[in-house]
Amino acid sequence: MKPLTLVICVTIVAAMIIGTCGCTSSSNTSSSSGYGTTLAPDNLAGAISNQYTAANYTVNTPFVMTKQGDTITYKGVVTDAPKVATPYTRNITIVLAPDRTTAWTTYNSTISQQEARGYQKFMAYNAEGDTYWTGYLGGLSSNASTPQVRDDLHDPSNIGLILPAANYGWLYLTNADLSNHYAILTNEQTPA
């Protein structure tokens, strides 16, 4: 084999190996994830409404976004799926805060507002990665028709947005980029 032919063959083989080894350019700006296109924190309203619809909730009021400075708020109203024993209408507020101070201020202010409206604490918990407050309107009640509220504070996460659901469960919006935002979730529920 001629030296030039050998050099060309080696170059081609090397290019094929490098091309298949998974190497990537450091200038890759793709916003795609394993779950589809990654959504920015200020572009989630439609995706949140769609997530509830996909889980068989009725979206009474589609989620809308407001923004004040770097704090992003989503609000919407959903009703539990038809096969829930005691369906609730849920007034859901999601606040995405840019820093810890704003997150804690928002979380504590939300609880204070609910207490001022007559909600009384049933349970509160604060441990690393798990912070919440629950209350019943007028005090603890086993009556399913008593309005309830739950507030959660979540640290920044690259797993997406956790959405409040029936029976204190969760739905997951996995393509939301919240790696730089704390999430304060309010699930105020009244019988449907």
Q: For the segment 100-119, what is each residue's pLDDT rounded down to a tens digit?
A: 999 999 999 999 999 999 99
- Whether residue 7 is contained in a domain is answered as no
Task: Say yes or no to pLDDT of 59 above 90.
Answer: yes
Confidence label for 153 from pLDDT (cuts 50, 70 and 90) = very high
- Whether residue 159 is contained in a domain is answered as yes
- Whether residue 115 is contained in a domain is answered as yes
Cβ atoms of residues 166 and 55 within 8 Å: no
What's the predicted TM-score (pTM) here?
A: 0.79
- Whether residue 11 is contained in a domain is answered as no
- Whether residue 25 is contained in a domain is answered as no
Q: Which domain holds residue 70?
A: 35-191
Residue type for 86, please? T
SS3 of the chain: the string is CCHHHHHHHHHHHHHHHHHHCCCCCCCCCCCEECCEECECCCCCHHHHHHHHHHCCCEEEEEEEEEEECCEEEEEEEEECCCCCCCCEEEEEEEEEECCHHHHHHHHHHHHHHHHHCCEEEEEEEEECCEEEEEEEECCCCCCCCCCEEEEEEECCECCCEEEECHHHCEEEECCECECCCEEEEEEEEEEC
- Whether residue 170 is contained in a domain is answered as yes
- Whether residue 4 is contained in a domain is answered as no
Bigger pLDDT: 93 vs 161: 93
Residue 29: the pLDDT is 27
Distances (CA, A) of 3 to 17, 53, 144: 21, 66, 85
Range in 27-31, 50-54, 82-86 the model is least confident about: 27-31
- Whether residue 8 is contained in a domain is answered as no
Confidence label for 168 from pLDDT (cuts 50, 70 and 90) = confident
Residue 37: the pLDDT is 77
Cβ atoms of residues 147 and 136 within 8 Å: yes
| 30: Cα separation from own chain's centroid | 21
Instruction: List the structure tokens of 62.
Output: 């589609």
Residue 169: the pLDDT is 84
Domains identified in the chain, total number:
1
Cβ atoms of residues 118 and 141 within 8 Å: no
